[in-house]
Amino acid sequence: MARLSQYQLGSNKELMLQLNAITDQGGEGLMLHHKLGLYHRGRSNDLLKLKLFTDAEATALDYRAGKGKFTGKMGAIKVKSDTGKVFYIGSGFSHKERENPPAIGSSISFRHQGLTDSGIPKFAVFIRVRNEP
């Protein structure tokens, strides 16, 4: 663990420049805290995490059955990205979407937080089927 320096930013533009600089150096993002906020054990609205996300497209290939509260529903969808990588997306779906998942062959949009060393999207989250608003 290391203590990090803190500084104030004067605008949203400065914030985004700093966020891009940190992520370009391999960092995940920034921690923002309210200037009048005090330390609270646990979660607090005085401390927020700011990360960059990337939206991408993929084609639905297959389904993985759900477990636990998703038994009898889709647990994850197997997809192939536009770059040819095959992986599963298991979060971002509503209960209704798990009961009636995107059709095999349909194009979906998803959000992720960068790529693994092998080019697989990290923390992929389903957004929508492409032909839906």
Task: For the chain, give every domain's residue range.
Answer: 12-51, 54-129
Q: What is the mean pLDDT of each run of 10 residues along the chain (133 residues)?
A: 83 92 88 85 86 94 96 97 96 96 96 92 96 62
Return the structure tokens found at 84. Answer: 């040819």
Cα–Cα distance between 31 and 96 in angstroms, integer?
34
pLDDT of amino acid 114: 86
pLDDT of amino acid 81: 95
| Type of residue found at 7 | Y
| 54-129: CATH topology | OB fold (Dihydrolipoamide Acetyltransferase, E2P) (2.40.50)
| Type of residue found at 34 | H
